Amino acid sequence: SKVPPIILNNGVEMPQLGFGVWQVPDDEAEQAVTTALEAGYRSIDTAAIYGNEEGTGKAIAASGLAREDIFVTTKLWNGDQGYDSTLRAFDTSLEKLGLDYVDLYLIHWPTPERDLYVDSYKAFEKLHADGRIRAIGVSNFEPEHLRRLIAETSVVPAVDQIELHPHLQQSAAREYHAEQGIATEAWSPLGQGKGLLEVPAIVAIAQKHGRTPAQVVLRWHLQLGNVVIPKSVTPSRIKENIEVFDFTLDTEDLAAISALNEDRRLGPDPLTFNQA
């Protein structure tokens, strides 16, 4: 494969770069995921709330690739948290995907107000023990939520998928993940493609390497050790975003990008987000 794996804390291999499908309508997901698989992506990041598990599953089925050669992530939505409802939501996701296991299942948000993430995670542990999920983890968990989860359950999460890009570098979370052996997965790795890709420092590094700003930002993540899941529905960009394993940023480039941190979120605050 084009994309080297990282080894999760339970020994499972996960491609360091995958394809995200947030905001891709179900009827466009099959085409987008097909394009990504043809371009060499072997990891797909969806979620129940994205409403495109069916289209994603159709592309996987039609790809002709062996199931074990594709790494599939989906996520438990907030309104489904709780032990029994998690088990039911998982069955629904598997059915929509047309799969008999997923590689990674994540609690989408901690929603601390509900106080159900520990119970939900215990259901994850059961599904994991039953062989229906290869690795279990969380998303949008702050260190305080991880600390509680680790104290009250038995499987340390394999992954925490959090908003992370040069304007929100998440150094405290990354440090805690490293201490605990949790892989840091960056969502909105390109900062949603908005202002970030026009930042002069990034444009200059791109010109220096004969690359695009998106490739430079993805390369920065990879060299830091982050897992990334850039999203695009444009075939040329889908291809561009995976062509990032044949060049290296130097220490000066990395430092210039690390200087861009503004602790600025594009998405919701995990401490208060509670959408059902």
Among 190, 227, 257, 260, binds ligand NAD (CB under 6 A): 190
In total, the chain counts a number of residues equal to 276
H/E run at residue 116: none
Touching ligand NAD, residues 46-105 (CB under 6 A): none
Gap between the Cα atoms of 220 and 125, Å rounded: 33
Which range binds ligand NAD by CB under 6 A, 17-25, 86-94, 123-131, 145-153?
17-25
50 flagged as catalytic: yes
Among 60, 241, 253, 260, interactor with ligand NAD by CB under 6 A:
241
231 near ligand NAD, rule: CB under 6 A? yes
Asked whether the beta carbons of 12 and 135 are under 8 A apart, the reply is yes
User: Does position 35 bind ligand NAD by CB under 6 A?
Assistant: no
129, amino acid identity: A
Q: Which of these ranges, 3-11, 95-103, 188-196, 245-253, lies near ligand NAD under the rule CB under 6 A?
A: 188-196
Instruction: Give the C-alpha separation, 161 to 47, whole Å.
Output: 12
**What is the DSSP pairing of strand 43-45 with strand 19-20?**
parallel
* Closer of 130 and 198 to ligand NAD (Cβ): 198
Residues 103-132 that bind ligand NAD (CB under 6 A): 108
**Contact between 160 and ligand NAD (CB under 6 A)?**
no
C-beta of 149 vs 229, nearer to ligand NAD: 229
In whole angstroms, what is the distance from residue 196 CA to residue 202 CA? 8
Query: Which of 33, 214, 216, 257 touches ligand NAD (CB under 6 A)?
Result: 214
Note whether 188 binds ligand NAD by CB under 6 A: yes
Q: Active-site residue among 41, 50, 117, 176?
A: 50
Specify the amino acid at residue 123: A
Residue 270 binds to ligand NAD (criterion: CB under 6 A): no
Q: Considering only residues 191, 220, 221, 242, which one is a binding residue for ligand NAD as defined by CB under 6 A?
A: 191
- The DSSP code sequence of 11-67 is S-EEESB-EE-TT--HHHHHHHHHHHHHHT--EEE--GGGT-HHHHHHHHHHT---G
Binding status of residue 274 toward ligand NAD by CB under 6 A: no
The residue assigned the tokens 């995990």 is 270
Residues 47 and 97 sit within 8 Å (Cβ to Cβ):
no
Q: How many CB atoms lie within 10 A of CB 233?
A: 16
229 binds ligand NAD, rule: CB under 6 A: yes
Enumerate the β-bridge partners of residue 13: 7
In the complex, the residues that contact ligand NAD under the rule CB under 6 A are: 20-22, 45, 108, 139-140, 161, 187-193, 197, 212, 214, 229-232, 237, 240-241, 267
Residues involved in catalysis: 50
